[in-house]
A and B are shown apart, each in its own frame.
Chain A
Amino acid sequence: MTAVSFLEGGLDANRALPGDGLDWLKKRRDKGAEKFGALGLPTPKLESWKYTRLRPLDDNTYTPVLDGAGDASVKDLPSVGDVAGRLVFVNGKLREDLSDVSDLPEGVRFGPLDEILKDDPAWAEAHLGVVAQDADQAMLALNDAMMDSGFVLHVQKGVVLRKPVEVVMVGGMTDQPVAYFPRNLIVIEPNAQATLVKHHVGRGVGAYFANAATEIDVADGAIFKNYKVQAESMQATHVSTTHARVGRDATFESFNLSIGGLLSRSEAWITLAGEGAHCGFNGAYMMRGNEHCDNTSYIDMAVPNTTCKQVYKGVLDDAARAVFQGKIHVARDAQKADGRMLNKTLLLSNEAEIDTKPELEIYADDVQCAHGATTGQLDQTALFYLRSRGIPEALARNMLVQSFLGDALDEITDAHVREVFMDRVVHWLPAHCYLAGEWKESA
């Protein structure tokens, strides 16, 4: 499929995209369309796309979602339980019947982007496209051009959201391959605190291509925790581009648990923009079959006295493939920066593959930075040890996988979310046989 046909599809559909009639947004869309037209879909010729090729997009013609493609009946959607608000999107369309934002505390705005564009266009104009600025990201340009609804989370100065808010993005259940382009905007004002959990799930049959873009502004003294579970279907192509800015003494924590999806690429650009800013940017990936999962990140330690820690661990079975590309950049005057990056992968099959590229780019001279990557197989001595105590091989293998991923999940500071995510890990394991009971006490 050519790059242009996405846009033509969108125009042919002749539907109103969110923010129709807003001049500034039209300019942004036009600029995105122009840029994407010039760049085209990324190919492995680009350094940052060397290991990930958007092959499913060659095999199918994806049509931007039309009205009605989000009406399918969906049941049993994931949840972390007690939340302050919940938004459910099906093929990029908000489903009010499944969402509930009736009980949000004062000072918190959490709703679909199109609603905010209608209700408060001046605020939207002041924030949309501010953090996400990049000249050569084709996928961001495509999202700029086509942006659908997506969600907005806005927490006002000093407001502490005690319970998490939750977003569920469901894809699939269509006759023809569909594409949708969620645009998400998160603004956490000074000294505010919030936790977001995003679930991406695939349902039914039908190929879909989700190309999301998310902008996150964590202002001075704010704390934002961003947790994502990607459990897309075997027909899903999931591309997400996140841009985040972290202010003075602010904390941005992110965990991306990838447990499903034919092809996924999660790309993040984080700027530690204020002194004392901290970023914990972590994840775990578990892939099987012929799934392909790419985590690419660029963390810019732009000013003195910032810290970041990155732990990504993965387990690959069958002919699954994962890519980890991480770069920590320390600017010239960003003294006392403390940056740590670690990527470890367990290969359960001879056909599985990991391409890992941890990089440090340091221009300051007084910093503490470290990076590392390892790849290995299940420890045969440990496996024998467990089996020699009577533990059946399948359970022993699962215990070792859980043990391996455990210290990545330990980076999740929200204890309840950590427990829910560990449960997802366990349910990925073969035969679901696992340690019942006491696992959570291990932390």
Chain B
Amino acid sequence: MLEIKDLHATVQGKEILKGVNLIIEPGEVHAIMGPNGSGKSTLSYVLAGRDGYEVTGGRIIYEGEDLTELDPEERAAKGIFLAFQYPVEIPGVPNSTFLNEAVNAVRRYRGEDELDKIQFVKMLRAKTKELNMSDEMLKRAVNVGFSGGEKKRNEVLQMAVLEPKLSILDETDSGLDIDALKIVSDGVNALRAPDRSSLVITHYQRLLDYIVPDKVHVLARGRIQKTGGKELALELEKNGYADYAGEEAA
């Protein structure tokens, strides 16, 4: 599904990723944990193709294709989805309109017919019901006036509607209470399938009680420092990141 080879990336001239290697097979859920400033969010932005995050070395191979030259919208159309740590508010654009545009843009790109309004609304209703979301949240402007939990649920709704093959969740657990965490995790778990993979980026082990990973990686100082099973997360929770802190992350 995804193969990251010796990935180097800079932001505003500063090298943040210094040779990341990672392989995610179809159907797998991987977690990336690490201290603040280790490059976790940078990795998620680089994978999603954000401007200003420059790949200076290495490759990102997704389904056999090098992604590094593709625009964010092309990556989205190919099935990559990034759930934002801080979802953006867009006043004046109704959530349902935004979702409709996104779904049809992706369908157009893939050469599929666009959904008409009735088809779209039917699909959307089903998804919101699964996620226990109110129709009212669809009418409101994108993320405007949403609580922290509602914003994250809205991210999961977008994910459910776009049905990505590779979901990247950037600190989706931050700012969530236990109930919201459970709803969000259920949404992610509902998408688990043999042909779909997830990369869960988190600072805390808590989320991994709900989204159980196949593999856990520790990212620090711009590199994967250690890889293990889900027990590695528990170990980190107990001992902290002190073992991985280099001179830069002190």
List residues of chain A with CB under 8 Å of any chain B CB.
Answer: 379-382, 384-393, 395-396, 399-400, 402-404, 406-407, 435, 437-439, 441-442
- 18 A-B pairs within 8 Å (CB atoms) are namely A380-B52, A385-B87, A386-B102, A387-B73, A388-B49, A388-B84, A389-B105, A390-B109, A391-B101, A391-B105, A403-B92, A404-B92, A406-B91, A406-B92, A437-B97, A438-B97, A442-B97, A442-B141
Known: A390-B77, A390-B106, A392-B105. A442 touches B93 (CB 8 A): yes
In the complex, which residue of chain A has the Cβ closest to the Cβ of B72?
Answer: A387
Interface presence of B117 (CB below 8 A):
yes
Residues of A within 8 A of B106 (CB): 390
| C-alpha gap A249/B87 in the complex (Å) | 45
Cross-chain contact B82 with A399 (CB below 8 angstroms): no
Residues of B within 8 A of A379 (CB): 88
A sample of 16 more A-B contacts (CB under 8 A), given A389-B158, A438-B100, is A384-B72, A386-B90, A388-B76, A389-B76, A389-B105, A390-B73, A390-B76, A391-B101, A392-B105, A399-B93, A399-B101, A402-B93, A403-B91, A404-B92, A438-B96, A442-B97
| C-alpha gap A395/B93 in the complex (Å) | 13
| C-alpha gap A437/B117 in the complex (Å) | 9
Residues of B within 8 A of A392 (CB): 73, 105
| C-alpha gap A263/B103 in the complex (Å) | 41
**A187: shortest Cβ distance to chain B, in Å?**
37
Cross-chain contact A384 with B91 (CB below 8 angstroms): no
| C-alpha gap A382/B109 in the complex (Å) | 21
Cross-chain contact A391 with B92 (CB below 8 angstroms): no
Query: Majority SS of interface residues in chain A?
Result: helix
| C-alpha gap A199/B179 in the complex (Å) | 55
Residues of B within 8 A of A442 (CB): 92-94, 97, 141
Residues of B within 8 A of A407 (CB): 91-92
Cross-chain contact B71 with A390 (CB below 8 angstroms): no
Cross-chain contact B90 with A400 (CB below 8 angstroms): yes
Residues of B within 8 A of A395 (CB): 101, 105
Residues of A within 8 A of B51 (CB): 380, 384
Within the complex, which residue of B48, B73, B82 is in contact with A391, where a contact is CB–CB below 8 Å? B73
Known: A380-B51, A390-B102, A437-B100. A403 touches B73 (CB 8 A): no
| C-alpha gap A382/B93 in the complex (Å) | 12
Cross-chain contact B92 with A385 (CB below 8 angstroms): no
Residues of A within 8 A of B91 (CB): 403, 406-407
**A383: shortest Cβ distance to chain B, in Å?**
8
The 8 A-B residue pairs whose C-beta atoms are closest, nearest first, are A406-B92, A390-B76, A390-B106, A389-B102, A387-B72, A385-B88, A403-B92, A438-B97
**A434: shortest Cβ distance to chain B, in Å?**
10
**B220: shortest Cβ distance to chain A, in Å?**
26
Cross-chain contact B162 with A382 (CB below 8 angstroms): no
Known: A403-B91, A437-B117. A388 touches B82 (CB 8 A): yes
Cross-chain contact A390 with B105 (CB below 8 angstroms): yes
List residues of chain B with CB under 8 Å of any chain A CB.
Answer: 48-52, 71-73, 75-77, 81-82, 84, 87-88, 90-94, 96-98, 100-103, 105-106, 109, 117, 139, 141, 158, 162
| C-alpha gap A404/B90 in the complex (Å) | 9
Within the complex, which residue of A384, A386, A406 is in contact with B50, where a contact is CB–CB below 8 Å? A384
Query: Majority SS of interface residues in chain B?
Result: helix
Residues of A within 8 A of B87 (CB): 385
Residues of B within 8 A of A441 (CB): 94, 97, 139
| C-alpha gap A380/B92 in the complex (Å) | 17
In the complex, which residue of chain A has the Cβ closest to the Cβ of B143?
Answer: A385
| C-alpha gap A389/B51 in the complex (Å) | 15
In the complex, which residue of chain A has the Cβ closest to the Cβ of B102?
Answer: A389
In the complex, which residue of chain B has the Cβ closest to the Cβ of A434?
Answer: B101
**A400: shortest Cβ distance to chain B, in Å?**
7
**A166: shortest Cβ distance to chain B, in Å?**
27
Cross-chain contact A435 with B101 (CB below 8 angstroms): yes
Known: A380-B51, A384-B50, A388-B48. A435 touches B93 (CB 8 A): yes
| C-alpha gap A437/B120 in the complex (Å) | 13
In the complex, which residue of chain B has the Cβ closest to the Cβ of A400?
Answer: B90
Residues of B within 8 A of A387 (CB): 49, 71-73, 76
Known: A385-B84, A402-B93, A406-B91. A393 touches B71 (CB 8 A): yes
| C-alpha gap A136/B106 in the complex (Å) | 59
Cross-chain contact B73 with A399 (CB below 8 angstroms): no
Residues of A within 8 A of B109 (CB): 390
In the complex, which residue of chain A has the Cβ closest to the Cβ of B52?
Answer: A380
In the complex, which residue of chain B has the Cβ closest to the Cβ of A387?
Answer: B72
**B68: shortest Cβ distance to chain A, in Å?**
16
Residues of A within 8 A of B92 (CB): 402-404, 406-407, 442
**B235: shortest Cβ distance to chain A, in Å?**
33
Cross-chain contact A390 with B93 (CB below 8 angstroms): no
Cross-chain contact B90 with A382 (CB below 8 angstroms): yes
Residues of B within 8 A of A391 (CB): 73, 101-102, 105
**B171: shortest Cβ distance to chain A, in Å?**
15
In the complex, which residue of chain B has the Cβ closest to the Cβ of A396?
Answer: B73
**A390: shortest Cβ distance to chain B, in Å?**
4
Residues of A within 8 A of B162 (CB): 389-390
**A188: shortest Cβ distance to chain B, in Å?**
32
In the complex, which residue of chain B has the Cβ closest to the Cβ of A399?
Answer: B93
| C-alpha gap A172/B169 in the complex (Å) | 57
Residues of B within 8 A of A403 (CB): 90-93
**B181: shortest Cβ distance to chain A, in Å?**
22
**B87: shortest Cβ distance to chain A, in Å?**
7
